[in-house]
Chain A
């Protein structure tokens, strides 16, 4: 889980090829093992695992409509992953993604339908997007200040703020931004024609492009710029950061703001690009689902794109499979957590192997 991308010193081509294949084995081996393990779980509940996996691949990846849905699903997830990468690389465990995401979504859902009535479409969407970002940033201020100036563990505060944020988002939908014209409790709906344009002749939202840009920019900022290096220094050794004269409290607040802001943007993209409104009690819990993905990608932005794609395939395919085979939709999360555990075990065994070779 080392957060730095230190290039390895020059190795012979032979050794580096061996290293690559070893890395591939380390990355793919656990995934195959976990598919087998999850298959056993499926067998235990009386579902043919091959049918389930076949269905997931078919609906999430191979069918044109399913693939388009998968790519659309990626848009908000990429923003969340970008936000988590910033925080995790800086050593701050922002687990409040769900609250930040939903508040961003509600802010966008509340503002966008009103703004389009008076402003040109693109400006209205941009404003709604920014409002959502600022709302999520403000929501992260409490944990940020507590961590920066009181040293209070942000894992606890962000999680608690997340529960509050989810509830507050719900209250806002039901009380403040309720659409009076429907009986279902939900916000006003942004007309399909006013939402973000779709890509070409497909149903894929252009939000996907924004998401890809966001995560690539985040990756480059974290690895190539002075600001990113400062954040990584704070994450890797806070005392060294103080010794080097970095303003750790200010950097801490910046990290929370950027992280929550990006996650809030994810909420906004989901609304102005895909959903159009927020229904009461809607909580897709993307924030928690993306956390393991970011770990699997070792906080590398490019790897995260791949894993977010995988998560989308699993969740879109899993939703269809849930309807057809009666496997609960949350089985996707079971699968991902099994992957994480096997990965951790693989890492531990690799470490032991290295140790044994050294000794």
Chain B
């Protein structure tokens, strides 16, 4: 039962239970967190990962069960108590002050009547960061740092407070693939120095790549644990299969490659020529983007986040003015049309920012279905809202797109990410869609919703619509696209037909090599 190299448990949970009205967020969870191990907590959205973390970081107290620190029972009363016990947490959402410098942020916890001792701080940061290979510019403003750098600052901040256990909550959700790899290497160096790391994620691949030990949570219960010996024994693919079996109670391979068949009709349905836009201080521009998508074709746009994907999508949807170039849909020019005009012609844009711009969180689900057709008959007649028609249509869409909501008058912001996505899909696909732009459609969704969304995209193409699929997940693109274009700094650097070695060729394009 005892471990070979990993140290004793720093923190143990024994039968920890946490209840919220209507749900049991954590149900008798046992967990040992050992020094020298990256312990991955894996689970879908709503599996209870965040609740577990909030109890470890002192934000909430368990209803049942106990927490042991170094083998001694010790309730964690508050976040500052957690810190003093050596438990540091890096939350999913950044907790740095963007207008202050890195040094000022690191000094924030100091006593208020003392001047921050920047010189002392600099020495300590250097001492901590150098062996970890972190290079921090203490004088830089946080707003100037990339998300990956900000995360490193937060990790250093936790280490400055002598943390023995570092909790990383969904740490990779905001990072580029390169940033994720760097974080993995950093975690490795941390545990080599004797720290314990708890790494929370819902991505299987990361669990397999970074974990020394994997615990799988499902609906609040711990449904399985893979020990470090077993982890070393298994092949990566076999490991992923085993985790999937634990998480979903079914075998992997549900999302195998499946490219929807299409007729040999190569007329371009959506055609973009020489689309250009100047770059601004905070966003890349577009540089003579040209491509064509046929009936029933899925064209993927691969690339590292922030290389103009959002600008391209917004330019096509009419949300962002372009300097030159043209967009044709079924032979008709869309140039000069606004969002509403393009929507009417059948061009639909599914945004990746579901709550930020896709919906109005406080409005009911029913109104959010029709946010893009306010005032149009038959739901409005001469400007007057027709509640009965709106409700009837909303109920129909809720049923057809399987939106799980308490009611159509529930504020959409209360739904889960997957269900908000279904509301958006219902809105964009209804009534005469011909070409659909998906911007990161599975971003932040759990596996079940991810698979359902991917199938939905395939079905749309199967109906003969043109699909532009923007994604930073290469596996996703390879699993369904006919062709994949690579965008880099606002330019399409190449288009690859999906097939043998497509992944490799796209990868080469992404890092700036010829395909």
A residues near B (Cβ < 8 Å) are: 2-4, 6-10, 224-227, 229-230, 232-233, 236-237, 239-240, 242-247, 357-359
Contact = CB atoms under 8 A, between A and B. Distances in A.
B334 to A, nearest CB: 13
A133 B154 CA distance: 56
A357 B374 CA distance: 37
A244 B384 contact: no
A336 B496 CA distance: 68
Given A233-B363, A239-B356, 15 more contacts: A6-B411, A8-B409, A9-B407, A224-B385, A225-B380, A226-B375, A227-B383, A237-B356, A243-B358, A244-B371, A244-B372, A245-B318, A245-B339, A245-B340, A359-B20
B362 A236 contact: yes
23 contacts: A4-B362, A6-B362, A9-B406, A226-B380, A226-B383, A229-B385, A230-B374, A230-B375, A233-B360, A233-B371, A233-B374, A236-B360, A237-B361, A239-B356, A240-B357, A240-B371, A242-B357, A243-B351, A243-B357, A245-B318, A245-B319, A245-B338, A358-B21
A209 B375 CA distance: 30
Q: Which 5 pairs from chain A and chain B are nearest by CB?
A: A245-B339, A226-B375, A239-B357, A9-B407, A245-B340
Nearest to B22: A358
B60 interface: yes
Interface in B416-466: none
A226 B378 CA distance: 12
Contact of A229 (B318, B353, B367): B367
Contact of A242 (B60, B319, B343, B375): B319
Given A240-B371, A244-B339, A245-B339, A10 B363 contact: no
A244 B318 CA distance: 10
A238 to B, nearest CB: 9
Nearest to B18: A359
A240 B384 contact: no
Interface string B40-64: 0000000000000000000010000
Contacts of A4: 362-364, 411
B78 interface: no
Given A4-B362, A230-B375, A359-B20, A9 B357 contact: no
B73 to A, nearest CB: 22
Nearest to B20: A358
Contacts of B339: 243-245
Nearest to A8: B409
B359 interface: yes
B326 interface: no
B375 to A, nearest CB: 3
Nearest to A221: B383
Contacts of B356: 237, 239-240
Contact of B363 (A226, A236, A246): A236
Contacts of A240: 356-360, 371
Nearest to B427: A244
B228 interface: no
Interface of B: 20-21, 60, 318-319, 338-340, 343, 351, 353, 356-364, 367, 371-372, 374-375, 380, 383-385, 406-407, 409-411
A239 B338 CA distance: 15
A227 B375 CA distance: 7
A230 B358 CA distance: 15
Contacts of B351: 243
Contacts of B409: 6-9
Given A226-B375, A237-B357, A245-B340, A357 B384 contact: no
A127 to B, nearest CB: 28
Contacts of A9: 406-407, 409-410
Contacts of A357: 21
A229 B343 CA distance: 19
A229 B386 CA distance: 12
B60 A229 contact: no
A275 to B, nearest CB: 36
Contacts of B372: 244-245
| Residue among A6, A7, A227, A358 with the highest chain B CB neighbour number at 10 A | A6
Contacts of A242: 319, 357
Nearest to B384: A225
B358 A359 contact: no
A226 B374 contact: yes
| Residue among B60, B374, B406, B409 with the highest chain A CB neighbour number at 10 A | B374
A237 B340 CA distance: 18
Contacts of B359: 237, 240
Contacts of B371: 233, 240, 244
Nearest to B353: A239
Contacts of A233: 360, 363, 371, 374
B363 A6 contact: yes
Nearest to A228: B385
Nearest to A233: B360
A230 B370 CA distance: 11
Contacts of B362: 2-4, 6, 236
A247 B375 CA distance: 13
A77 B406 CA distance: 41
B312 to A, nearest CB: 15
A99 to B, nearest CB: 31
A338 to B, nearest CB: 29
B383 to A, nearest CB: 5
A223 to B, nearest CB: 8
A237 B364 contact: no
Contacts of A244: 339, 371-372, 374
A243 B372 CA distance: 8
Nearest to A246: B374
